[in-house]
């Protein structure tokens, strides 16, 4: 079961990374990078079951969402709003 | 092998329903809770997606919401049982505050997922790691296949409710 769960996470992580690389628009890359972060956080916990690994997985994931937020809000300030 | 795949598929469906229900309960599609979520929603609308669905996807990306809570609670329960799930809820609460998110979606998602995974692993024989793989598949369906179509689907669910 462990191998299968880890394989699912790894395949999803690689797929999401490829989609992010192939997407040209930076803001549209973020959903795929988010999927990759989910999969990597899952792999971190699956690969080494230890309480500290759990803290590492949470720290990695929270850091990744914080970075996505920073990238998205910085880009929003750089580009003028085109909504009426 | 087939039984394991069935467990992962069932866990994916349960996780998907759980995090979408909690995110809608905490009104994530109503507005961009953090500044980055607004930008992502605008980009999705510009590409032909739905505004409310875009806000929900933006909020999922920019702060730890119920989907993150569900995944990390599955990891926590797998490693340390119920105390692991509760520890994750506390860490997700701190993480959401770090991301300037005032909401409770992540914390409640982690607690709800811990209870559901405990019930299903104790009484229905689900292996907890099936929920880790299941949650990855659930988030792949929402964000990783086509964010445009996912935003339209989420927007129509939000308007119906």
Residues of B in contact with A48 (CB under 8 A): none
- CB within 8 Å: A34 and B61: yes
| Residue B119, pLDDT score | 95
Q: What is the pLDDT of residues A13-31, one digit of tens each?
A: 999 999 999 998 888 899 9
The rounded distance, in Å, linking the Cα atoms of B120 and B93 is: 25
Task: Answer yes or no: are the C-beta atoms of B49 and B148 closer than 8 Å.
Answer: yes
* Residues contacting residue B22 through CB under 8 Å, at least 6 positions apart: B66, B69, B105, B108, B109, B112
The rounded distance, in Å, linking the Cα atoms of A59 and B151 is: 28
User: Rounded to 5 degrees, what are φ and ψ at B137?
Assistant: -65, -40
The pTM for the full model equals 0.91
- For chains A and B, CB pairs below 8 A equal 164
- CB within 8 Å: B129 and A5: yes
Mutual angle of helices B105-123 and B128-139, in 10-degree steps: 130
Q: What is the pLDDT of residues B86-134, one digit of tens each?
A: 999 999 999 988 888 887 889 999 999 999 999 999 998 899 999 999 9
- CB within 8 Å: A54 and B88: yes
* Cα-based distances in Å from B31 to B26, B55, B56: 11, 6, 8
Which residues of A, range 7-26, sit inside 8 Å of B by Cβ?
Answer: 8-9, 12, 15-16, 19, 25
For chain A, how big is the Rg over CA atoms in Å? 15
- CB within 8 Å: B140 and A35: yes
User: Rounded to 5 degrees, what are φ and ψ at B109?
Assistant: -60, -45
- CB within 8 Å: B91 and A62: yes
* Strand positions, DSSP E, B38-109: none
Distance of CA A67 to the CA centre of its chain: 10
A47 touches chain B (CB under 8 A): no
- CB within 8 Å: B133 and A68: no
User: What are the structure tokens assigned to A23, written together?
Assistant: 């997407």
Per-residue pLDDT, averaged over A62-80, amounts to 85
The rounded distance, in Å, linking the Cα atoms of B146 and B81 is: 34
| Residue A81, pLDDT score | 57
Considering only the beta carbons, identify the residue of A5, A57, A59 that sits closest to B133.
A5
The rounded distance, in Å, linking the Cα atoms of B63 and B71 is: 14
Task: Answer yes or no: are the C-beta atoms of B92 and B108 closer than 8 Å.
Answer: no
Residue for token pair 């997985």: A57
* Cα-based distances in Å from B145 to A13, A69, B54: 13, 21, 15
Q: Is B137 helix (H, G, I), strand (E, B) or coil?
A: helix
B107 φ/ψ sector (left φ>0, alpha ψ -120 to 50, else beta)? alpha
| Residue A84, pLDDT score | 46
Residues of B in contact with A73 (CB under 8 A): 34-36, 39
A40 touches chain B (CB under 8 A): no
- CB within 8 Å: B63 and A34: no
């Amino acid at each position: 079961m462990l191998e299968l769960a880890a394989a699912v996470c790894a395949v999803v992580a690689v797929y999401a990374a490829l989609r992010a690389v192939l997407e040209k628009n930076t803001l549209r890359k973020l959903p795929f990078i988010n999927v990759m972060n989910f999969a990597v956080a899952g792999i971190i916990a699956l690969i080494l079951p230890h309480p500290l690994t759990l803290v590492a997985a949470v720290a990695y994931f929270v850091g990744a969402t914080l970075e996505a937020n920073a990238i998205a809000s910085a880009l929003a300030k750089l580009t003028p709003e085109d909504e009426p | 092998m087939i039984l394991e795949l069935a467990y992962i598929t069932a866990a994916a469906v349960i996780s998907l329903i759980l995090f979408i229900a909690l995110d809608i309960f905490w009104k994530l599609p109503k507005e961009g809770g953090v500044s980055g979520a607004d930008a992502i929603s605008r980009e999705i609308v510009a590409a032909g997606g739905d505004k409310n669905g875009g806000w929900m996807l933006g909020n999922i990306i920019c702060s730890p919401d119920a989907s993150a809570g569900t995944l990390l609670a599955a990891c926590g329960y797998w490693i340390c049982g119920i105390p692991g799930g509760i520890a994750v809820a506390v860490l997700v609460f701190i993480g959401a505050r770090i991301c300037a998110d005032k909401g409770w979606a992540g914390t409640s998602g982690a607690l709800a997922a811990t209870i559901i995974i405990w019930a299903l692993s104790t009484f229905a024989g689900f292996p907890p790691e099936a929920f880790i793989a299941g949650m990855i598949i659930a988030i792949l369906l929402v964000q990783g296949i086509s964010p445009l179509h996912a935003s339209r689907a989420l927007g129509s669910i939000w308007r119906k409710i």
